[in-house]
C-alpha cells in the first residue's frame, strides 16, 4: 500500500481582527478571464493502513527517513512552511523583497509543484484560506471539476464497477484548477507581478534541480507505473529503467515553457490556446473525456469560510467540498474535556480523540459533497449542540458499533503556511491526488494530470484509493467538484489592531488524503491545548481513525502500553509508518515560528 500525495502550503502574514467575508461579497472580486492564445508568448504520500495501492505501484514501502527542517532564521517579515526546504526559502525571499503572504504563498506553491512534482502541480487544484490586513477571511476554492461528459455511471459497466478507471489513466482526469486559483488570489491580493512570482519555479523547471528525498521515494515506489508511461519514464527513470535517485539532477523544460506562458498571459496561458489544446489532445487521444472546452470554462469559486470558537480561539477553515467542517465537528466534540489534564499520549485522550474522528468521518461519508449539487447541513454538523450530543455518546472504556457514529448512515496533497508582519495570513493546500496523479502527462506542455475523479463516490459502498466511502452527495456528475480531504485552517486569539499580527495567529494544513484531517487536527490541538511550539506540534506522534475501515492507526511514538489499552477498549490498533505531513506557521508573543513536517522532508523559514 502506498500513501497518496498531496501538496500543502500555509502562509501567515501579520493578521488583524478577523471578519468572515461571505461568498456573495467575495464573488465581486476580480477573477481572471480566459480569452487569448498566449502560448506563443511563453509558463499522498507515504504508506498507511487505510490507503489502497493503485495499480503499478511498488509498495509496500516506508516514507522517506525523517529529516529536521532547516534552521529557522529569525527576522521581522513573517514565516513560511512548505513541503520542500527550497520552496520555503523562495517564499521567505518573496517576503524579504516586500511581498505579502499571498505573494509568498503563490511563489511557494508554484515552486513546490516543480520540486515535488509527484504530489502537486498545475495539472491539479486546491483550496486557499486568506486573511487580509483588515482581518477579513476569504475562502478560495479551485478544486478540480468533473468534465462535461462525466455522468454517475461513468465507471460502471452493467453491474460491474470499474474502480481502477477512476484511479489511473485518462478517465481519472478532472479539469485542473491550480492556475486559475493562484491567479485569482494574485489579482485580488498580491503586490508583486505575476512574472516575479513565477520566476523561481520557471528557473527550477528550466535549469533543473537535484531530486529531493520525497520525490526520490515516490519515483522508487512507483517505478513500475512510471515505466508504463513513456513521457513520465523519460523524466523520472534512467535509460536502463531504474528509478532516478535522490540528488540526481532533473529538468522539466516543457513545463518551464508552460509556466512562462502563464507568467505572460495569466490563466489564459493555461486554459486557452495551444497549452489547453495539447492537454485535451493527450487525454482524448488516450481514451479520456476532458476537452478544451472544459478547460476554457473552468472558474474558481469564492466561498464563505466556516468558523467556530475553540478555547478562546476563532478557528476558520474551508467549507465543502473541503473537509474543513469535519475538523470543526471534531473540535466541538473535544471542546468539553480538559485534554491537557488527560495528557497528550494517555490512553484516555487517545481513545476520546479516535472516537471524535470516527464521528466526523461518518458524517463526512453521508453528508459532504459539492454544495452546488447537494445540500450539506454544515451549520448543524459544526454546531456546539451537535458536538455536545456526540460527546455524550462516547463511552470512556469501549468503542461503539460502527452504525452509531455520526448520523444514521444512508442506505443506498502539498501544503504551505505563511505569516507576515502586515496583518495577512494564507493556508493553501494543493494536490494532484495520488502519486503522479493519473499517470498521464502531456509531453508538449509538461503537465502531469490529476486523478481527482477517484475522489467521487463512484458507486455505493465502493471505497476510493484511501479507503473512504462516500454517499449520494458525492456521486459523479458533470461539472461537479469531488469531495476533498484538504483542510487548510487558521486560528487566532486576542484583539489585534488592523495591519498588525494578532497576539496569537496559527496557520496549519497538511497532505496525505484523509490523514490530512486527523494530522491537522492533532497539530492544532498541540498548539492550542498542549502549548507546543510549531516544530513540536508538527513532530508529535499521531493517530488516525477514519471510521471505515474500522482501524486505529498509530505512529510508533505511541508507546506499547497505550496501544494495548486502546486495544482493550475495542480499537483495532495498527502501527502506521506515515500519518500525514503538516506545515504550520505561527505568530505568538511578537515572534514568528514555522515548521515543515520532517515526515516529508519539509522546510520552514522565518523572515
Fold of the CATH domain 306-412+490-587 = Serum Albumin; Chain A, Domain 1 (1.10.246)
Provide the pairing of β-strand 45-46 with 156-157.
unpaired
pLDDT of residue 315: 97
pLDDT of residue 23: 57
d(CA 307, CA 314): 7
Distances (CA, A) of 543 to 181, 320, 338, 400: 32, 24, 19, 18
d(CA 316, CA 489): 6
pLDDT of residue 439: 97
**Do 575 and 509 contact (CB within 8 A), yes or no?**
no
**Owner of C-alpha cell 495551444:** 274
Domain-wise residue ranges, the chain: 3-301+427-483, 306-412+490-587
Q: Is 328 helix (H, G, I), strand (E, B) or coil?
A: helix
Distances (CA, A) of 183 to 96, 197, 317, 339: 21, 11, 21, 41
pLDDT of residue 52: 39
pLDDT of residue 25: 52
- Which residues are catalytically annotated? 413
**Owner of C-alpha cell 477579513:** 136
Pick left, alpha or beta for residue 71 (phi over 0 → left; psi -120 to 50 → alpha; otherwise beta). Answer: beta
**Do 114 and 86 contact (CB within 8 A), yes or no?**
no
Cis bond before residue 163 (omega within 30° of 0): no
Q: Is 93 helix (H, G, I), strand (E, B) or coil?
A: helix
Q: Please, what is the end-to-end C-alpha distance for the chain in angstroms?
A: 39
pLDDT of residue 389: 96
d(CA 550, CA 519): 18
pLDDT of residue 410: 35
Rg over CA atoms, the chain? 22
pLDDT of residue 8: 52
pLDDT of residue 140: 98
Residues 6+ apart with CB under 8 A from 560: none
Q: Which residues of the chain have pLDDT under 50?
A: 1-5, 10-18, 28-75, 408-412
> What does residue 243 show for φ and ψ, rounded to 5 degrees?
-70, 145
Residues shown for the chain:
607
pLDDT of residue 418: 85
Amino acid at each position: 500500500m502506498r500513501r497518496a500525495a498531496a501538496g500543502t502550503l500555509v502562509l501567515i502574514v501579520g493578521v488583524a481582527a478577523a471578519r468572515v467575508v461571505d461568498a456573495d461579497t467575495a464573488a465581486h472580486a476580480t477573477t481572471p478571464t480566459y480569452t487569448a492564445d498566449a502560448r506563443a508568448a511563453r509558463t499522498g504520500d507515504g504508506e498507511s493502513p487505510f490507503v489502497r495501492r493503485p495499480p503499478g505501484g511498488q509498495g509496500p514501502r516506508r516514507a522517506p527517513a525523517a529529516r529536521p527542517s532547516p534552521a529557522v532564521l529569525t527576522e521581522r517579515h513573517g514565516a513560511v512552511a512548505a513541503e520542500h526546504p527550497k520552496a520555503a526559502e523562495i517564499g521567505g525571499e518573496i517576503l524579504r523583497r516586500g511581498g505579502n503572504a499571498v505573494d509568498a504563498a503563490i511563489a511557494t506553491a508554484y515552486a513546490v509543484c516543480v520540486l515535488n512534482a509527484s504530489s502537486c502541480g498545475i495539472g491539479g487544484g486546491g483550496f486557499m484560506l486568506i486573511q487580509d490586513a483588515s482581518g477579513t477571511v476569504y475562502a478560495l476554492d479551485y478544486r478540480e471539476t468533473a468534465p462535461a461528459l462525466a455522468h454517475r455511471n461513468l465507471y460502471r459497466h452493467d453491474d460491474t464497477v470499474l474502480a481502477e478507471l477512476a484511479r489511473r489513466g485518462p478517465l481519472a482526469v478532472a479539469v485542473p484548477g491550480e492556475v486559475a486559483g493562484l491567479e485569482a488570489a494574485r489579482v485580488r491580493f498580491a503586490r508583486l507581478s505575476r512574472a516575479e512570482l513565477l520566476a523561481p519555479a520557471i528557473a527550477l523547471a528550466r535549469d533543473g534541480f537535484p531530486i529531493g528525498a520525497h520525490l526520490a521515494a515516490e519515483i522508487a515506489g512507483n517505478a513500475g507505473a512510471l515505466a508504463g508511461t513513456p513521457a513520465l519514464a523519460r523524466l523520472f527513470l534512467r535509460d536502463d529503467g531504474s528509478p532516478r535517485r535522490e540528488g540526481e539532477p532533473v529538468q522539466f523544460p516543457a513545463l518551464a515553457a508552460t509556466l512562462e506562458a502563464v507568467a505572460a498571459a495569466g490563466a489564459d496561458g493555461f486554459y486557452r490556446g495551444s497549452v489547453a489544446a495539447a492537454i485535451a489532445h493527450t487525454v482524448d487521444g488516450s481514451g479520456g473525456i476532458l476537452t478544451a472546452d472544459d478547460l476554457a470554462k473552468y472558474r474558481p469559486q469564492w466561498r464563505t469560510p466556516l468558523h467556530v470558537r475553540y478555547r478562546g480561539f476563532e478557528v476558520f477553515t474551508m467549507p465543502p467540498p473541503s473537509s474543513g467542517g469535519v475538523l470543526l465537528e471534531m473540535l466541538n466534540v473535544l471542546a468539553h474535556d480538559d485534554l491537557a489534564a488527560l495528557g497528550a499520549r494517555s490512553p484516555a485522550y487517545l481513545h476520546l480523540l479516535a472516537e471524535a474522528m470516527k464521528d466526523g468521518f461518518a458524517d463526512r461519508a453521508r453528508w459532504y459533497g459539492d454544495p452546488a449539487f447537494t445540500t450539506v447541513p454544515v451549520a448543524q454538523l459544526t454546531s456546539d449542540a451537535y458536538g455536545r450530543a456526540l460527546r455524550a455518546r462516547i463511552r470512556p472504556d469501549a468503542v461503539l458499533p460502527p452504525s452509531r457514529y455520526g448520523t444514521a448512515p444512508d442506505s443506498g496533497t502539498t501544503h504551505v503556511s505563511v505569516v507576515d508582519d502586515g496583518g495577512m495570513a494564507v493556508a493553501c493546500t494543493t494536490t494532484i491526488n495520488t502519486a503522479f496523479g493519473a499517470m498521464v502527462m502531456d509531453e508538449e506542455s509538461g503537465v502531469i494530470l490529476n486523478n481527482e475523479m477517484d475522489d467521487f463516490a463512484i458507486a455505493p459502498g465502493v471505497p476510493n484509493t484511501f479507503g473512504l466511502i462516500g454517499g449520494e452527495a458525492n456521486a459523479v456528475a458533470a461539472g461537479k467538484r469531488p469531495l476533498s480531504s484538504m483542510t487548510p485552517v487558521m486560528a487566532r486569539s486576542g484583539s489585534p489592531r488592523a495591519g498588525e499580527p494578532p497576539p496569537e495567529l496559527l496557520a496549519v494544513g497538511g497532505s496525505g488524503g484523509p490523514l490530512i484531517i486527523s494530522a491537522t487536527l492533532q497539530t492544532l490541538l498541540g498548539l492550542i491545548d498542549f502549548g507546543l511550539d510549531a516544530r513540536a506540534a508538527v513532530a508529535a506522534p499521531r493517530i488516525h481513525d477514519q471510521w471505515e475501515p474500522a482501524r486505529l492507526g498509530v505512529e510508533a511514538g505511541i508507546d506499547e502500553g497505550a496501544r494495548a489499552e486502546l486495544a482493550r477498549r475495542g480499537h483495532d490498533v495498527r502501527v502506521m509508518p506515515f500519518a500525514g505531513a503538516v506545515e504550520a506557521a505561527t505568530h505568538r508573543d511578537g515572534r514568528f515560528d514555522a515548521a515543515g513536517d520532517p515526515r516529508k522532508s519539509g522546510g520552514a523559514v522565518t523572515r
